[in-house]
Structure 1
Amino acid sequence: MSDPDETMTALEVADKLKVSVQTVYRMCKSGKWPAIKIGRIYRFTPEQYASIIEPPARPVLKPRTQRKNIERLLRSA
């Protein structure tokens, strides 16, 4: 586990991301953002914070899947 001095509170994360604390709690409760929950308080390690601010990786489509998507788009046009 990380050093408690390195973890960030929900308020600190909200300030850095310029969102409300309620948004931070809502995203954690829904499972969209990783966090450590201690009682009713959420804490964030530097790694968890980095995963929140990094954009999600786009899935790499196989050529067959790409071809099917293109064919479907052409049929609908």
Structure 2
Amino acid sequence: MSKLSEVRFLTVAEVADLMRVSKMTVYRLVHAGDLPAVRFGRSYRVPENAVTAALQRPVADVG
């Protein structure tokens, strides 16, 4: 695991911009456990490497 000082944390708004989804979708991913996050007070911060990993996961074809 990388050192905490090397981890870059993103806000929910930054994650939403990177993933091109709404902030509510990011909150849903966090609450469902699909996207790890750390809570600071009333806001969440998501490790940048977790966002990168989520974007590289294959998308399931359900249709």
Query: Which structure features the higher share of strand residues?
Result: 2
Partner of residue 46 from structure 1, selected from 40, 48, 59? 48
Q: Is the 8 A contact 2:16 2:26 kept in 1?
A: yes
Structure 2: which amino acid aligns with 1:52? A
Q: Which runs of 5+ in 1 are unaligned?
A: 57-77
CA-based RMSD of the aligned residues comes to 2.2
TM-score (norm 2): 0.70
TM-score (norm 1): 0.59
- CA shift, 1:26, in A, is 1.0
Q: Which runs of 5+ in 2 are unaligned?
A: 59-63
Q: How many residues were matched structurally? A: 56
Structure ranking higher on relative contact order (CA contacts 8 Å, 6+ apart): 2
Percent identity (aligned)? 35
Moved beyond 2 Å, runs of 4+: none
Query: Which structure features the higher share of helix residues?
Result: 1
Partner of residue 17 from structure 1, selected from 16, 19, 32? 19
